[in-house]
Structure 1
Amino acid sequence: MNEKIQYDREKEPITKGKLILKLLPFTRSIAERMSMRLPANVDVDDLINAGIIGLIDAIEKFDPSKEIKFKTYAEFRIRGAILDELRSLDWLPRSLRQKTSQVEETYYKLEQELGRPASDQEMAEALELSIEEFYEILSQSRGAILFSLDDLGDNPDNKTKNLLSLIADSEDKSPLFSIKLKELKRVVGDGINRLPEKEKLVISLYYYEELTMKEIGKVLDITESRVSQIHTKAIILLGARLKKLFSE
């Protein structure tokens, strides 16, 4: 832990031990933020411990010659380690995973047919549900969407493609890979821009302004649970588009 590493080109090298201590609050904040979308029986301390393992892994594997900031790379690793921990706990019922996948596929199908994101009523009708039943599925799916933007489907070798590891680990310098990454950024940006105004605002306040669901509810004068539903809907839409991109 006494070995010094150059984690920032503009700063002096720092020992691994000091860097871990420096980024512990950052790791904790990621774990706590992710835990807000999980059932109460998931222990946040377990997520923090997994995040620390991801942080150490980031320190060991970071390549300062790559065009990526250490803190950005570390966040990929921390989130990835926490998601791996959640997968190992297998806390998400298979039936809920299937429902979330069905909602995701239906969103994408309707968007292709309509040329715009489907309304809640259109989604409910397509799924043969009442609007209340549809909202209940969105509420139940808030934990499942942690994986929606991370697992991008299976490749021909039956291995799950992982967005975080794809960005953080790939050493592929081919023109095709560069095109894929540019397309990824375009799809995410375009996807956010095409969201209905309320969904777009929730995404902006949650991810860019870093407000909590409760704080966003006060800003928009809606309940915290409704904010969660809107957030879930937006992430499922983006996840569907990304999976289509990486399945090509």
Structure 2
Amino acid sequence: MNEMIEKHLPLVHQVVNRVAKGLPAHVSREDLISMGTVGLIGAIERFEADKGVKFETFATWRIRGAVLDGLREMDWVPRQVRQWKKEIERAFETVEYQKVESATDEEIAGYLGISMDEYHKRISQISAGAVFSLEEAVHVSGEEHGFYDFLPDPAAEDPGQILTREELRRVLEQTIARLPEKEKLVVALYYYEEMSVKEIADILGVTSARVSQLHAKAICRMRGALSRRKHEFK
């Protein structure tokens, strides 16, 4: 166990470095590393090689999840901002269900009954304290699933479990495909190319704050889509 922990500590630092880039200065990096190490230990204990997933891939999700869980427990994001996030997710869920396409900022602001200035203010506040992402758990039929649970599992024998996992992946793929182009690009660069917010900002020729806002809106759209379709997984 100790040998495995020591071998993969650089992975903990790598994950922490990425998460820490969007956090306030007062959040202790040492605390983040401790949270990540707990996630690494959990990954070592729970890893099953026959699932067909590399240990580093599995460990990365678990480390990041442990860090995000720890940050949420610290509860440093104001309650009002958390409420705004939930309201905007619900707005995307409702408006995009009715439109069957991506909602504009104006439509979301109109649904919420607020001005565009107020809408942009809320998105900025959410993105500034955004300890949420695709790694957050998804609640389906009263159960909590991590995104690792939706990775291919050749050994799985439960057809219902396979169907749920594949359907969730399909919903995510559909939602990502219809994201506005800039949001889609931010998601691709951040999650698939693993670029930092600053690197993405340089590519798009915008500020890091703008990239964070695009990321926040993309995640609200995707989580709203999952919430909208959750009845299909019951």
195-204 vs 87-96, which deviates more?
87-96
- Report the structure, 1 or 2, having the larger helix content: 2
Could you tell me whether the CA contact under 8 Å between 1:145 and 1:232 is conserved in 2? no
Work out the CA distance in 2 between the residues paired with 1:224 and 1:144.
14
1:11 alignment partner in structure 2: none
Indicate yes or no: 2:95 matched with 1:95: no
Could you tell me whether the CA contact under 8 Å between 1:149 and 1:235 is conserved in 2? no
Work out the CA distance in 2 between the residues paired with 1:149 and 1:58.
15
Indicate yes or no: 2:106 matched with 1:161: no
Could you tell me whether the CA contact under 8 Å between 1:191 and 1:238 is conserved in 2? yes
Structure 1 regions of 5+ residues with no counterpart? 2-15
Work out the CA distance in 2 between the residues paired with 1:141 and 1:89.
16
Deviations 1:209-236 (A, max 9, x none): 2222222222212222111111110011
| Aligned alpha-carbon RMSD (Å) | 2.4
Q: Which amino acid aligns with 1:47?
A: L
2:96 alignment partner in structure 1: 111
Deviation at 1:43, TM superposition (A): 1.5
Q: Which amino acid aligns with 1:124?
A: A
2:35 alignment partner in structure 1: 50
TM-score by length of 2: 0.87
Deviation at 1:101, TM superposition (A): 0.4
Deviation at 1:167, TM superposition (A): 4.7
Deviation at 1:164, TM superposition (A): 4.2
Deviations 1:47-104 (A, max 9, x none): 1111111111211221112222211211121122112211321222222111100000
Name which of 171, 175, 195 aligns with 1:191. Answer: 175
Name which of 146, 168, 173 aligns with 2:132. Answer: 146
CA shift in 2, pair 1:108/1:165, >3 Å: same
Identity over aligned pairs, percent: 39
Could you tell me whether the CA contact under 8 Å between 1:145 and 1:235 is conserved in 2? no
Which is bigger in relative contact order (C-alpha 8 A, separation at least 6)? 2
Q: How many residues align?
A: 229
2:159 alignment partner in structure 1: 175
Larger Rg: 1
